[in-house]
A and B are shown apart, each in its own frame.
Chain A
Amino acid sequence: GQNIDQPTEMTATEGAIVQINCTYQTSGFNGLFWYQQHAGEAPTFLSYNVLDGLEEKGRFSSFLSRSKGYSYLLLKELQMKDSASYLCATPSGAAGNKLTFGGGTRVLVKP
């Protein structure tokens, strides 16, 4: 089964960098997803890592280490609009086409 852990809440200053860690234990590995969810809204897809290493997408980067069961989402040059919850998720099910989510990390960006 899946066991996903991420911090509950983080606070950072506008313009700074924040790193959100996620550790997971899965019976079979098919990648690691990150989603962003603003308060009261649906989650939106940010990134998907299936191989080890860092993938960069503008101000957001995601890192994966399969041997350590560890991923992080890096948010650079923080903006107020980045205040949201960030959800880590791993595929589950026989075909790997379901997603099991962590509890989410709420990031509060302060001016």
Chain B
Amino acid sequence: SQTIHQWPATLVQPVGSPLSLECTVEGTSNPNLYWYRQAAGRGLQLLFYSVGIGQISSEVPQNLSASRPQDRQFILSSKKLLLSDSGFYLCAWSNLDSGNTIYFGEGSWLTVV
């Protein structure tokens, strides 16, 4: 069965510091991978979307970047965090076998102080 894992689960970072969130998927190949963000009390916003290694689509202009160095690995990064980057970050996957249903990782809580 497929599993998705992201880390770290929580982190508190000062403004201007870098960020790296990592996500891996097991039990499936060639997945579509996603990074979503959910600000406090808000809906889910798609940040990045990837259909394959090295293929990244940015959905909204922002202070973040994403990379996919391996088929089942997706990384969210920032060189300098802003206060507005605080939120709940969710990695997710889908593929043809899932019927394009998207399945989420456990999420990472980021607080920028």
Chain A interface residues (CB < 8 Å from chain B): 30, 33, 41-45, 48, 87, 91, 93, 95-104
Q: Which residues of B are found within 8 Å of A30, using beta-carbon distances?
A: 100
16 additional A-B residue pairs with CB within 8 Å, beyond A30-B100, A101-B44:
A33-B101, A33-B102, A41-B106, A42-B107, A43-B44, A43-B104, A45-B101, A45-B102, A48-B99, A87-B43, A97-B32, A97-B51, A97-B100, A99-B102, A103-B43, A104-B43
- The 26 sampled A-B contact pairs (Cβ below 8 Å) are A33-B101, A33-B102, A41-B107, A42-B104, A42-B105, A42-B106, A42-B107, A43-B44, A43-B90, A44-B104, A45-B101, A45-B102, A48-B101, A87-B43, A87-B44, A91-B100, A93-B49, A97-B32, A97-B94, A97-B100, A98-B49, A99-B46, A100-B46, A101-B43, A101-B44, A103-B43
